[in-house]
Amino acid sequence: MDTFDCIATKFDIREFSEKQVPSDIQQRILEAARLTGSGLNTQHWRLILVRDKENLRKLANDSYSGGWVSNAAFAIIVLTNPKHNFHMIDAGRVIQDMQLAAWNYGVASCLFTGINKDALSNDFEIPKDLNITAVVGFGYAGSNPAKWKKNRISIKDIVSIEKYGKAG
Ligand SMILES: Cc1cc2nc3c(=O)[nH]c(=O)nc-3n(C[C@H](O)[C@H](O)[C@H](O)COP(=O)(O)O)c2cc1C
């Protein structure tokens, strides 16, 4: 898929079908993460691949805004090292690369950040020095996004020319 089309057609999807995602596609998504550039090339992110149904339910229970992940085919917990002040930027990049790689293969996804960190840390044995930054759930979409429209503000609302607030 053309990169622009991939960005333009992707939605964050929280309803998934029962269909499993082949493991070679899961690996491609992880490879997209591995290939992502990070600040100073630190590559401090660590990912936990969660496929077990019971563990997906634990992820849902450990969240405030991601209960839908229990129906995902798999999920990836994104851990970053907060000693790098740019760690959240890196997280955003690695998440978006994984989501776009998935969408390229027809796999939908969404992320959540409302996490009960103590509970999740305990359930997944996460080291104390890593920040639990987000969880991304993946699976084939449960409903057809082809007719959905993006709800976004206009270019003129976000872009200034040369100086802040100056329209073109
Ligand atoms: C930093 C960030 C945090 C988000 N946190 C959550 C979340 O906690 N739970 C959730 O269901 N969606 C979450 N989302 C998904 C957003 O709600 C979604 O990207 C936005 O509504 C646009 O969706 P769309 O691309 O399908 O139009 C998050 C997205 C981002 C980028």
- What CATH number did the domain enclosing 92 receive? 3.40.109.10
Rounded to the nearest angstrom, the distance between the alpha carbon of 48 and the centre of ligand 1 is 20
pLDDT of residue 104: 98
How many Å separate Cα 81 from the centre of its chain?
17
**Residue of 6, 10, 12, 144 to test ligand 1 pocket, by largest number of atoms within 8 Å of CB:** 12
**54 found inside a domain:** yes
Tokens of 125: 């044995």
pLDDT of residue 146: 76
Q: Hey, is 130 helix, strand or coil?
A: coil
Range of the domain at 109: 3-144
**164 found inside a domain:** no
pLDDT of residue 50: 98
Q: Ligand 1 pocket by C-beta < 6 Å: which residues?
A: 11-12, 14, 65-66, 110-114, 150-151
pLDDT of residue 58: 98
Is residue 91 a contact partner of residue 47, using CB atoms and an 8 Å limit?
no
pLDDT of residue 166: 87
**163 found inside a domain:** no
pLDDT of residue 48: 98
**154 found inside a domain:** no
Is residue 89 a contact partner of residue 42, using CB atoms and an 8 Å limit?
no
pLDDT of residue 144: 82
Q: Which atom of ligand 1 is nearest to the CA of 14?
A: 11
Global pTM reads: 0.96
pLDDT of residue 145: 77
pLDDT of residue 26: 98
Q: What is the rounded distance in angstroms from the CA atom of residue 149 to the CA atom of residue 85?
A: 35
**156 found inside a domain:** no
**90 found inside a domain:** yes
Q: Hey, CA dihedral for 78, 142, 9, 28, is it positive or negative?
A: positive
pLDDT of residue 114: 98
Rounded to the nearest angstrom, the distance between the alpha carbon of 39 and the centre of ligand 1 is 23
Nearest 5 degrees, angle CA 37-CA 43-CA 48?
110
**160 found inside a domain:** no
In the block, tokens 């040369």 appear at 162
Query: Helices in the chain by DSSP H: which ranges?
Result: 3-9, 23-35, 53-61, 87-104, 117-124, 155-158
- Specify the number of domains making up the chain: 1
Q: What is the rounded distance in angstroms from the CA atom of residue 123 to the CA atom of residue 55?
A: 9
pLDDT of residue 63: 98
Q: Which residues, given as ranges, of the chain have pLDDT below 70?
A: 168
Q: What is the rounded distance in angstroms from the CA atom of residue 70 to the CA atom of residue 21?
A: 15
pLDDT of residue 29: 98
**63 found inside a domain:** yes
